[in-house]
Amino acid sequence: MQLTDIFDELSKKSINKKLHFFEILLFQITLMNRAIWDDPNFSDKEKVDCLKWSNELVHRIWNISFELKRNEDDKSVERLWENIKFYGEQASNLKQHIQPTLLLAFSNFNALS
């Protein structure tokens, strides 16, 4: 499955389903951050840079989630995609972790739905 397929599929979901995915994604990002922190191939500077941008991404995902909880959906999936692309570009090492994290989050979402 491609990332674009995930976002196409998510855009068709109800607000509650989108919120559920966002919550699963936030959990998976926590696990991703642990993997980044423990990666012996990254320098300390690279780890901090990845975690800095991951934190910014999480902040944006929380904001979108809060809107969904208010039953507001202002292009939530499109905004998620834009934020993932932007923050993935800020740290190349982060970018390599984001795709598998999204795929796993979507797989877990489908399994739980």
Which sequence spans correspond to the domains of the chain? 3-112
Q: Which two tokens stand for residue 18?
A: 């989108």
pLDDT tens digits in sequence order for the chain, 113 residues long: 788 899 999 999 999 999 999 999 999 999 999 999 999 999 999 999 999 999 999 999 999 999 999 999 999 999 999 999 999 999 989 988 999 999 999 999 999 98
Cβ(46)–Cβ(90) below 8 Å: no
How many C-beta atoms surround the C-beta of residue 25 within 10 A? 25
pLDDT, position 1? 74
How many alpha carbons lie under 13 Å from residue 24 in its C-beta half-sphere?
20
pLDDT at position 3 is: 85
